[in-house]
Copies of this chain bind each other. A is one copy, B any other.
Amino acid sequence: MYLSEMSKEELMSFKNENVKLYDDFKAQGLCLNMARGNPCKEQLDLSVDMLKVFDDGQFMSSCGSDVRNYGLLDGIPEAKKLFSDMIGVKEDEIIIFGNSSLNAMFFAVQTAFNKGVLGGKPWSQCDKIKFLCPVPGYDRHFKVTEFFGVEMINVPMTSTGPDMDMIEKLVAEDESIKGIWCVPQYSNPDGIIYSDETVKRFAALKPKAKDFRIFWDNAYCIHHLTDSPKYILNILDEAKKAGNEDIVYIFGSTSKITFPGAGVAVMGGSKANIDDLKKYLGISIISYDKMNQFRHVKYFGTFENMLEHMKKHMAIIAPKFQLVCDKLKAEIAPLGIGSWTEPKGGYFVSFNAPNGCAKRIVQLCADAGVTLTGAGATFPYGKDPEDKNIRLAPTYPPIDDLAKAMELFTICVKIAAAEKLLEA
Contacts and interface: CB of A to CB of B under 8 A. Distances in A.
Interface in A14-59: 36, 38-39, 41, 44, 48, 51-52, 54-55, 57, 59
Interface in A201-254: none
Contacts of A148: 114
A39 B59 CA distance: 15
Contacts of A292: 262, 289, 292
A140 interface: yes
A71 to B, nearest CB: 8
A84 to B, nearest CB: 21
Contact of A69 (B98, B260, B286): B260
A110 B106 CA distance: 12
A71 B44 CA distance: 14
Interface stretch (A85-93, A277-285, A320-328): A277-285
A286 B100 contact: yes
A144 interface: yes
A409 interface: no
A177 B119 CA distance: 30
Interface in A81-115: 98-100, 102-103, 106-107, 110, 114
Interface size class of A (residues with CB under 8 A): 35 or more
Contacts of A288: 99, 261
A108 to B, nearest CB: 11
A289 B293 CA distance: 13
A285 B54 CA distance: 27
A66 interface: yes
A353 B287 CA distance: 31
A55 B48 CA distance: 9
A371 interface: no
A382 to B, nearest CB: 14
Nearest to A73: B261
Nearest to A258: B68
B38 A284 contact: no
A359 interface: no
A259 interface: yes
A59 B38 contact: no
Nearest to A259: B68
A381 interface: no
B39 A261 contact: no
A255 B44 CA distance: 27
Between A67, A99, A147, the greatest number of chain B beta carbons within 10 A of the residue's beta carbon is seen for: A99
A291 interface: yes
A144 B287 contact: no
B57 A54 contact: no
Contact of A261 (B143, B280, B290): B290
A124 interface: yes
Contact of A289 (B39, B106, B261, B280): B261
Contact of A291 (B38, B69, B70, B262): B262
B44 A59 contact: yes
A39 B69 contact: yes
B284 A68 contact: no
A140 B286 contact: yes
B57 A69 contact: no
Given A69-B260, A140-B286, 18 more contacts: A44-B59, A44-B68, A48-B57, A51-B54, A67-B261, A68-B259, A68-B262, A70-B260, A100-B286, A106-B284, A110-B110, A114-B148, A143-B283, A147-B283, A259-B291, A261-B287, A261-B289, A292-B292
Interface of A: 36, 38-39, 41, 44, 48, 51-52, 54-55, 57, 59, 66-71, 98-100, 102-103, 106-107, 110, 114, 124, 140, 143-144, 147-148, 255, 259-262, 280, 282-292
19 contacts: A44-B59, A51-B51, A51-B54, A51-B55, A67-B261, A69-B261, A70-B255, A98-B99, A102-B286, A106-B283, A124-B124, A143-B282, A144-B283, A144-B284, A260-B286, A260-B287, A261-B286, A261-B290, A262-B292
